[in-house]
Copies of this chain bind each other. A is one copy, B any other.
Amino acid sequence: MNKMTRPAPVSEMLAPRSVAVIGASEDQTKFGGRLFHMLVRHGFGGTIYPINRKRETLSDIPCFARIGDTPSAPDMAVMAVPRDHVKAAVTECAEAGTKAVIIITAKFSDVGEEGARLEAEVVEEARRHGMRIIGPNCLGIISPANSLVLCASPALYVDELLVGRIGMVSQSGALMATLFDRAQTRGVGFSHCFSIGNQADMEMCDFLDFLVEDPATDVICAYIEGVKDGRRFMEVAERARAAGKPVLAVKAGRTDFGAAAAFSHTASLAGSYEAFEAACSQSGVVLMDDPDAMVMLAAALTRFDRPERMETALMTTSGGGGAITADRLTDLGLPLATYAPQTVAALEEHYLPDNARANPIDMGAAKAGGSMLVGEDSVHALLTDPETGVVLCPLTTAPDMRLLCECLAKGLARAEEGGTRKPCLVVLQPGQAANKARAELLKHGLFFFDGLDEAIRVIDGYRKLLTLAPPRGARGTSPAGAAPDAASGALDEAAAKQLLDGYGVPVNRGAVAQDAAAAGKVAGDLTGPFVVKVVSPDIVHKSDAGGVALGLTSAEEVAQAVTEMAARLGQSHPEARITGYLVQEMVEGELEMFVGARRDPLFGPVVMLGAGGVMVELLKDVAVRLAPVTPDEAREMIAGLRVAPLLEGFRGSAPLDIDALAEAVSRVSWLAHDLGPRFAELDVNPVLVRKAGEGCTGVDARILMEEE
């Protein structure tokens, strides 16, 4: 395959001199009809070539029977022809000199192997001619910034496309159109929206690359089912961050059921969500659970400055709405603002002292009871309050909501004239009763929320943005001089510990003995008390099988324990291959932790840290990062765990050795990294952590390596 290496010509695709619509017609129940209609409707400034054998003109625009008949090669073509005609149409486009084609048609790699083969042929055909493909199985492009619509969605039956500074890339076409429409109805516009479908040729990162450079875009939204190239995704995200453009993402398929739903539709490789989450966190991507909230956060980021602090001031029209909002923010640990004295003084113009200090500010409780005019001064006071990061106005019905919204817009404008561009999020909770208020906000260039859930998700998203880990610095170098050498298959405890020891990960001393006498001899060289564990590839749960003996205080007890263990296992596991008995120093610690690593198919090795023992399953408390991590990053992993208080010193107990644990996590991550492409899994569990300064010790370990 003649793989293209030149940069993706997205900017060219957004500014075509001419577009061919294959299958254009006047029948708007058909894709081709709607594609043609929308291109005309939304004022495309270039030449349109409708391709239709049966017509001379469409809307006074001359038609052509074949794409080869057009007077010049179209820069772009868009098609929604039946699947079995796609390849021939692609050939025609390519031979005519078309630079890029959007294939709406579905049922390629999204439906299985036969479709995937056909898709590969189509791509091969295009690449042979240097033509690029968006799709197949996509909805195309909506570019309000460029007045270019190459999309057949009925969501585009609107008079005007709101232009905003949000760029969006979506693996789901219908979802993109839905988000576009929902946003536009609420006063939120986009620069460009790309539905990328099966990414047979051009993939998500091509579009993200473009948006990072695009002067019309300030914030980037991505709906992701599966990433094709994990490291490229991180690189472009890091570039966006360096350019000051937030990247917001929703990843479908976080859960098994979600993944089953998502991956039946795309041919993307399924990495683990945890690895994706780690990649986002480490490259500055804000992950959201809800696509509508993602778009609204983008809207807030393009309309207002980023908040500098998270304290939220609430302004309401009823006590009930305010109380529920305060509860919901508090549930999520989002703080409510306490106002500065000058703010209280300003509010006391309109409110009794107690009400002027309250958060929420209840406009219904103003001295001029029920007057909407207090809205202007109230919102101005809150926006200019130095202790407040965000102003949230969840509005229930009021005597005149339109007037109230006019006053809010005035107060906001006054604050902005004074140089404050703090976020002011307005939620219009009623149904039709708020329609005039909605129109009023739109008139002032303000967007709104229709419900509390999305607004609270946006504030939570602000927090995620403000608490992103700093950009990753240099990784440093591996603590081991030479690349480790590991056999294939499951490495037993002894072999795993040898590798860990070579990386400076503290493990307890010990050795494998073949029989009771040898075991006693091993113990003689170590410091008691001792533990004995059977070494066998056939016995997975050693404790349950009676293959572990603890608290042995002398070489004699060790020898005796091996004799008894051999007899017991000979009866209970007669088939098991027993390769020896591991005699080790028994280790004590204050807390059991778990350190592990896995290879993610998309992002490569990841390192994991969590509470060990029963806690890990009760708390589901695991931190994941891409390997290798520095000790500082490992400390961040520790700080984010729910068990962090136990490590930091809980209710007066002594703090534990976080430094040693962080060092061990970093070294394990390097080992996973250095073990190379055959590395599959690694567990050090438990790692016993002692008091600060006393270190930690891994007391069991295993490593799984794949075959060459």
Interface, chain A (partner B; CB < 8 A): 29, 106-107, 111-112, 153-155, 157-158, 170-175, 177-178, 181-186, 223, 225, 250, 252-262, 264-266, 289-292, 314, 317-331, 336, 352, 354-355, 358-360, 362, 364-365, 369, 396-401, 429-434, 450-454, 541, 544, 614, 617-619, 642-643, 645-646, 650-652
Which residues does chain B contribute within 8 Å of A182, judged by CB atoms? 429-431
Q: Are A255 and B617 in contact (CB under 8 A)?
A: no
Q: Are A319 and B642 in contact (CB under 8 A)?
A: no
Q: Are B250 and A324 in contact (CB under 8 A)?
A: yes
Q: Which of A106, A172, A327 has the most CB of B within 10 A?
A: A327
Q: Which 3 A-B pairs have the closest CB atoms?
A: A172-B320, A185-B431, A174-B318
Measured CB to CB, the closest approach of chain B to A436, in angstroms, equals 10
Q: Are B154 and A397 in contact (CB under 8 A)?
A: yes
Which residues does chain B contribute within 8 Å of A397, judged by CB atoms? 153-155, 174, 177-178, 181
Q: Given A107-B369, A431-B185, verify A323-B262 contact (CB < 8 Å).
A: yes
Residue of B with least CB distance to A611: B618
Which residues does chain B contribute within 8 Å of A614, judged by CB atoms? 645-646, 650-651
Q: Per a CB cutoff under 8 Å, which of B257, B266, B321 touches A326?
A: B257
Once bound together, how far apart are the Cα atoms of A290 and B451, in whole Å? 10
Q: Given A431-B186, A651-B617, verify A265-B172 contact (CB < 8 Å).
A: no
Residue of B with least CB distance to A82: B369
Once bound together, how far apart are the Cα atoms of A453 and B434, in whole Å? 20
Q: Are A264 and B175 in contact (CB under 8 A)?
A: no
Q: Per a CB cutoff under 8 Å, which of B258, B324, B336 touches A330?
A: B258
Q: Per a CB cutoff under 8 Å, which of B175, B183, B185, B318 touches A320?
A: B175
Which residues does chain B contribute within 8 Å of A355, judged by CB atoms? 264
Which residues does chain B contribute within 8 Å of A431, judged by CB atoms? 181-186
Once bound together, how far apart are the Cα atoms of A450 and B253, in whole Å? 23
Q: Are A396 and B618 in contact (CB under 8 A)?
A: no
Q: Given A174-B318, A178-B396, A451-B454, verify A432-B323 contact (CB < 8 Å).
A: no
Q: Are A321 and B172 in contact (CB under 8 A)?
A: yes
Q: Per a CB cutoff under 8 Å, which of B174, B291, B430 touches A398?
A: B174
Q: Given A183-B431, A451-B454, verify A320-B258 contact (CB < 8 Å).
A: no
A-B CB contact pairs (8 Å), 9 listed: A170-B320, A174-B317, A182-B430, A225-B323, A255-B327, A255-B331, A261-B325, A266-B319, A292-B429
Once bound together, how far apart are the Cα atoms of A458 and B370, in whole Å? 34
Once bound together, how far apart are the Cα atoms of A336 and B184, in whole Å? 32
Which residues does chain B contribute within 8 Å of A112, judged by CB atoms? 354
Measured CB to CB, the closest approach of chain B to A141, in angstroms, equals 16
Q: Are B453 and A323 in contact (CB under 8 A)?
A: no
Once bound together, how far apart are the Cα atoms of A172 and B170, in whole Å? 42
Q: Are A544 and B652 in contact (CB under 8 A)?
A: yes
Q: Per a CB cutoff under 8 Å, which of B181, B258, B325, B358 touches A324?
A: B258
Q: Which of A256, A322, A619 has the most CB of B within 10 A?
A: A322
Which residues does chain B contribute within 8 Å of A352, judged by CB atoms? 111
Once bound together, how far apart are the Cα atoms of A258 and B291, in whole Å? 28
Q: Which of A329, A398, A643 has the most CB of B within 10 A?
A: A398
Q: Are A400 and B323 in contact (CB under 8 A)?
A: no
Q: Given A155-B430, A330-B255, A398-B174, verify A358-B261 contact (CB < 8 Å).
A: yes
Measured CB to CB, the closest approach of chain B to A110, in angstroms, equals 8
Q: Given A181-B431, A369-B107, A396-B174, verify A323-B651 contact (CB < 8 Å).
A: no
Which residues does chain B contribute within 8 Å of A223, judged by CB atoms? 320
Residue of B with least CB distance to A251: B327
19 extra interchain contacts, Cβ-Cβ under 8 A, other than A177-B397, A541-B652? A111-B352, A154-B433, A174-B397, A177-B433, A178-B396, A178-B430, A178-B433, A181-B433, A183-B431, A185-B431, A255-B327, A257-B330, A258-B323, A258-B330, A261-B322, A261-B323, A262-B320, A265-B319, A265-B362
Q: Are A326 and B261 in contact (CB under 8 A)?
A: yes
Which residues does chain B contribute within 8 Å of A264, judged by CB atoms? 319, 354-355, 358, 362
Once bound together, how far apart are the Cα atoms of A452 and B250, in whole Å? 15
Once bound together, how far apart are the Cα atoms of A360 and B262, in whole Å? 10
Measured CB to CB, the closest approach of chain B to A517, in angstroms, equals 33
Which residues does chain B contribute within 8 Å of A454, judged by CB atoms? 451, 453
Which residues does chain B contribute within 8 Å of A434, judged by CB atoms? 181
Q: Which of A112, A178, A330, A355 has the most CB of B within 10 A?
A: A178
Residue of B with least CB distance to A331: B255
Q: Per a CB cutoff under 8 Å, which of B256, B330, B430, B453 touches A453?
A: B453
Which residues does chain B contribute within 8 Å of A433, judged by CB atoms? 153-155, 157, 177-178, 181
Residue of B with least CB distance to A188: B431
Which residues does chain B contribute within 8 Å of A186, judged by CB atoms? 431
Q: Per a CB cutoff under 8 Å, which of B171, B174, B399 touches A321?
A: B174
Once bound together, how far apart are the Cα atoms of A365 and B107, in whole Å? 8
Q: Given A178-B321, A181-B431, A322-B261, verify A401-B642 contact (CB < 8 Å).
A: no
Q: Which of A365, A454, A544 has the most CB of B within 10 A?
A: A365
Residue of B with least CB distance to A106: B369
Measured CB to CB, the closest approach of chain B to A111, in angstroms, equals 8
Once bound together, how far apart are the Cα atoms of A323 and B265, in whole Å? 10
Measured CB to CB, the closest approach of chain B to A139, in angstroms, equals 9
Q: Per a CB cutoff under 8 Å, which of B175, B317, B617 touches A396?
A: B175
Once bound together, how far apart are the Cα atoms of A618 and B647, in whole Å? 12
Which residues does chain B contribute within 8 Å of A396, judged by CB atoms? 172, 174-175, 177-178
Which residues does chain B contribute within 8 Å of A354, judged by CB atoms? 112, 264
Measured CB to CB, the closest approach of chain B to A179, in angstroms, equals 8
Once bound together, how far apart are the Cα atoms of A541 and B652, in whole Å? 11
Measured CB to CB, the closest approach of chain B to A255, in angstroms, equals 4
Once bound together, how far apart are the Cα atoms of A171 and B322, in whole Å? 13
Which residues does chain B contribute within 8 Å of A155, judged by CB atoms? 397, 430, 433
Q: Given A178-B397, A265-B319, A320-B175, verify A257-B329 contact (CB < 8 Å).
A: yes
Which residues does chain B contribute within 8 Å of A541, judged by CB atoms? 652
